[in-house]
Amino acid sequence: MIRSLSWNDMLFFLEALRWTVLLAAIACTCGGVLGLGVALARVARSRSLRTAAATYIQIVQGTPVLMLLFLSYYGLSLFGYDLPPMVAAGVSMTIYVSGYLGDIWRGSIQSVPKQQWEASESLAMTRRQQYQYVILPQAVQISLPPTVGFMVQVVKNSSIASIIGFVRIGQGRAVDQQRDLPAIPCVFNRGSAVLLRLLPAFILQPPAGKEIPCLKSWLTIFTRASAQ
């Protein structure tokens, strides 16, 4: 028998949304920090660091996210390390994000014109000063669109974590149907939650041909459209 939605069901939706956002935030934050180190190692002067970073990227990008989840949750349990689903999912997604963001940011750093490197060297800047004042500010502008697009993909790929018992918003729909809830309201509520979750990514991503600050660009476009 199909029953109507109640506030308890809405609380269940919000709880699932909370864990989805938390997992994505952990993956993007920790993976971003690790990915920055991988990117800097990929363009380092030391050949051993470049080789190690390139090997890490190739291994991570060549390993499916599902296999990373299996290795962190089921594989480590064979050696006596039983990780909670949240920790296992966070570690797996962090490694996954670091491999791809490291490669994206490596390309952004190398996209900075060579003249910028030469100009900073002529000013007797150290390597750290070059990155801090000249290279990284320009690399951030270059890397923003692919980074935002990849973060949206990370949010969608978090559904794979449900295979190790991590309940998220996408998995909640199947639970809703098992609770005999009507399908259309469930889909509508979940669709609204997903749109609210991805809205900041679309706001932060600059329009085609525009430079940052992208939020100001979007506000300008919205103001002009409202005035017409």
**Structural domain count, the chain:** 1
Neighbours of 171 (CB within 10 A): 19
Amino acid at 153: Q
- pTM of the predicted protein model: 0.69
Domain-embedded: residue 1: no
pLDDT in tens, 175-185: 444 444 444 44
Domain-embedded: residue 84: yes
Domain-embedded: residue 2: no
| Three-class SS state of 1 | coil
Q: How far apart are CA 100 and CA 102, in angstroms?
A: 5
Q: What is the DSSP letter of 139?
A: H
Write out the residue range of the structural domain in which residue 11 sits.
Answer: 7-227
Domain-embedded: residue 175: yes
Peptide bond into 84 cis (omega under 30): no
Domain-embedded: residue 61: yes
Residue 159 makes CB contacts below 8 A (sequence gap 6+) with: 168, 170, 171
CATH (domain of 48): 1.10.3720.10
pLDDT in tens, 5-61: 677 777 777 777 777 888 899 999 999 999 999 999 999 989 999 999 999 999 999
